[in-house]
Chain A
Amino acid sequence: MVISDKEVKDIAQLARLELNEQDLAAIGFGLRQILEFVQQMDAVDTTNIEPLAHPLELDAHRRSDEVLETNLRDTYQRVAPRVENALYLVPKVVE
């Protein structure tokens, strides 16, 4: 499966990564190498094998619906790049 430069650009856009033309060639080359390498998996027939998402196949713990945490908004927003009136500031989205 060959991945084109256009596909690399599209994936980068999905992942919100900005690639310049110089990066594009190098990253595309690396991706092609890796995707080719992982195709070794195709040599094994896995038709009736169930996928394994988690090694111990655990269920998530359940607990009663009680409030256990206090509001730590101010603490958590102290590490934010820009905050005003407890709101995260970003460039204008709606004109």
Chain B
Amino acid sequence: MSAYPETVAEIATALAKGEFSSVEITRHFLQKIAAHDGRLNSYITVCEEHALTQAAAADTLLQGKVAGPLTGVPYAHKDIFCTKGIKTSCGSRMLDNFIAPYSATVSERLDAASMVLLGKTNMDEFAMGSSNETSYFGPVINPWREETVPGGSSGGSATAVAARLAPCATGTDTGGSIRQPSALCGISGLKPTYGRVSRFGLIAFASSLDQAGPMATTAEDLALMLNVMAGFDKKDSTSIDRPTEDYTRTLNDPINGLRVGIPQQYFSSELDADVAAPIRTAISELEKMGATCIDLDLKHMHLSIPAYYVISSAECSSNLSRYDGVRFGHRCSEPRNLDDLYCRSRSEGFGAETQRRILIGTYALSSGYYDAYYRKAQKIRRLIRDEFQNAFANIDAILGPTSPSAAFEIGQKLDDPITMYLSDIYTTAVNLAGLPAVSIPAGFAEGLPVGMQLIGNYFAEAKLLQIAHQYQSTTDWHRLSPPMQSGVD
């Protein structure tokens, strides 16, 4: 057993009491990373020196009793957030040489909270993937079973938290990239309402869908992290100018009287039976705690994946046009002319999946096809959004599985894009509608974690975290961690 506590809340309390220093707990995590990450590959960059400097500064604040709630708590940061002076690769060869000249607002907020950056985590290239196999830096291993993927695109963050190589991490979620890896790795992850967390300095994939959020072992830790991450930002034109709240305030309120919608579409033939079983048990648990479960019919849900892939690819093709080999990022050697410079820099810098999405998006936006694909997908998007809004007139939250299966084997879906895309079948609708949703551990399917998804109405993060925390107060799935090979613990 480790001498140190595992959760953010416990570490923060112990630091405040002086039970150990930030430098000590930071060294502990750095040692665990050194011992295990050669195998798991969850970090692209480990910031050892930087972390110890930040930890020493945090210790000064803690000793001076001028610390904030998370001062000195270490975290892992998805390599999609710009961090000034530190390599920010976005999992791509294109940005392998990119030292960010400025920091994302999220990075600045975590710095301002005096949290300690352990390192930048591995991810699918430009966040395009559901298995963390599209990373230029190699696949990440799921610590629960080495042959399986951790999910994606925030696969490095999910594995780092699951293997206890960080107490918490940041992620981003464009179509499920926080929730699906959280489910597959047995941790908790929150995608906030679109616009709640700043996108400034977050490398763009699909701007109308991208949203950053926290990943940790417990719902309480998500609330603590969200308190730091959320807030209006003038530098992000889609940030919402609305006061934040203390997301921990209602965690301990009981959930009796809560109305939970169960969409029949989330229990259709795509769902593995051994995933369905723990989710049905979780529904019974919530009913025992006083929640009322109501059947829900979301007729357009099955169109979320097609609409999502058209819209996200269209936005991706536009966003990724900035990588031209001229101003930053990879440049091919000895270009023959300007067009050759663009074409070869991009073909060498982007991996296969990223190129595929750029091509789909370029096609969907091209003259003659715009109405059939992009405009059609935007109309479907409205139908999906309206369907959710109608549902939330009568319920507080929607519950279902996060992913149709537990972690799958490395390589299993890599050559079949449609099958890979369908692993996000329960998550993409939430991004199209811009809603908040959380995934929390709810049991196991043949030894691999199963995640339960709770979807809320706009700005209902506190409600979702309250339900999740109440569920975690009566279950212990979130406390289980994968058996680690011997070494440092």
Interface residues of A (CB under 8 A from B): 1, 3, 7-8, 11-12, 14-19, 27, 30-31, 33-35, 37-42, 44, 46, 49-56, 58, 60-61, 63, 72, 75-76, 78-82, 88, 90-93
B488 at the A/B interface (Cβ < 8 Å)?
no
Q: Is A40 within 8 A of B359, CB to CB?
A: no
How many Å lie between the Cα of A68 and that of B241 in the bound state?
19
B444 at the A/B interface (Cβ < 8 Å)?
no
Q: Is B359 within 8 A of A11, CB to CB?
A: yes
How many Å lie between the Cα of A18 and that of B347 in the bound state?
6
* Further contacts, 6 of them, CB under 8 A, given A17-B358, A58-B195, A72-B102: A15-B317, A34-B360, A34-B418, A35-B363, A56-B434, A91-B335
Select which of B317, B336, B359, B379 is within 8 A of A49 by beta carbon: B379
Nearest opposing residue in chain B for A56, CB measure: B434
How many Å lie between the Cα of A40 and that of B356 in the bound state?
20
Chain B interface, DSSP helix/strand/loop, else mixed: helix
How many residues on B have C-beta within 8 angstroms of the other chain's C-beta atoms?
72
Q: Is A53 within 8 A of B208, CB to CB?
A: yes
Q: Could you jot down 24 A-B contacts, CB within 8 Å?
A: A11-B359, A11-B363, A14-B366, A15-B321, A15-B346, A16-B321, A16-B343, A34-B309, A34-B418, A38-B307, A41-B310, A44-B303, A49-B379, A52-B382, A54-B238, A54-B434, A55-B432, A56-B434, A60-B238, A61-B237, A79-B101, A81-B326, A90-B341, A93-B337
Chain A interface, DSSP helix/strand/loop, else mixed: loop
Q: Is B366 within 8 A of A11, CB to CB?
A: yes
Q: Shortest Cβ distance from A30 into chain B, in angstroms?
A: 6
How many Å lie between the Cα of A37 and that of B421 in the bound state?
11
Nearest opposing residue in chain B for A63, CB measure: B234
Q: Is A88 within 8 A of B326, CB to CB?
A: yes
How many Å lie between the Cα of A58 and that of B305 in the bound state?
24
Select which of A12, A37, A58, A93 is within 8 A of B238 by beta carbon: A58
How many Å lie between the Cα of A82 and that of B224 in the bound state?
44
User: Which chain B residues lie closer than 8 Å to A15 at the CB level?
Assistant: 317, 321, 346, 358-359, 362
**Given contact pairs A17-B347, A55-B432, A80 touches B326 in the complex (Cβ within 8 A):** yes
User: Which chain B residues lie closer than 8 Å to A76 at the CB level?
Assistant: 101, 327-328
Tell me which of B71-79, B113-121, B370-378 binds A: B370-378
Q: Shortest Cβ distance from B39 into chain A, in angstroms?
A: 31
User: Which chain B residues lie closer than 8 Å to A91 at the CB level?
Assistant: 335-338, 340-341
How many Å lie between the Cα of A76 and that of B327 in the bound state?
9
User: Which chain B residues lie closer than 8 Å to A17 at the CB level?
Assistant: 343, 346-347, 350, 355, 358-359
Q: Is B306 within 8 A of A37, CB to CB?
A: yes
Q: Is A75 within 8 A of B101, CB to CB?
A: yes
User: Which chain A residues lie closer than 8 Å to B417 at the CB level?
Assistant: 30, 33-34
B266 at the A/B interface (Cβ < 8 Å)?
no
Q: Shortest Cβ distance from B334 into chain A, in angstroms?
A: 9
How many Å lie between the Cα of A3 and that of B366 in the bound state?
13
**Given contact pairs A51-B375, A88-B327, A41 touches B307 in the complex (Cβ within 8 A):** yes
Q: Shortest Cβ distance from A51 into chain B, in angstroms?
A: 3
User: Which chain A residues lie closer than 8 Å to B302 at the CB level?
Assistant: 40
Q: Shortest Cβ distance from B348 into chain A, in angstroms?
A: 9
How many Å lie between the Cα of A46 and that of B341 in the bound state?
42
**Given contact pairs A18-B343, A44-B383, A80-B328, A55 touches B359 in the complex (Cβ within 8 A):** no
B408 at the A/B interface (Cβ < 8 Å)?
no
